[in-house]
Amino acid sequence: MRIPCPHCGERDYSEFRYGGDASKQRPAHGSGDIKAWHDFYFLFDNPKGPHAEYWQHVLGCRRWFVLTRNTATNEVGGPA
């Protein structure tokens, strides 16, 4: 699989680190709402299809970015 790093360009997936579902909204720092934090941290839509997700180019520029990938085909790009 090839992943387009916004800074370095397209590279093999092995240069990156996966960071999970990027569509989930992290509760505000110190929100204090345990339920919100539980749902954010432990629950996943896990869609079969377009998926917005975090990746970090750890062997490159170390940027974290959001990638849209179709989990049914591994095709990168397209609307989330």
Task: Give the footprint of other proteins on this chain (CB under 8 A).
Answer: 1-2, 6-9, 11-15, 17-22, 26-27, 29-35, 37-38, 40-48, 51, 53-54, 56-64, 66, 71-74, 76
Report yes or no: 78 and 68 within 8 Å, Cβ to Cβ. yes
Q: Which lies closer to other proteins via its Cβ, residue 19 or residue 80?
A: 19
d(CA 15, CA 55): 10
**Closer by beta carbon to other proteins, 37 or else 78:** 37
* Nearer to other proteins among residue 73 and residue 78 (C-beta): 73
Angle at 36 between CA 66 and CA 27, to 5 degrees: 45
Cβ of residue 79: shortest distance to other proteins, in angstroms? 18
Q: Nearest to residue 80, comparing CAs of 56, 55, 54, 49?
A: 49
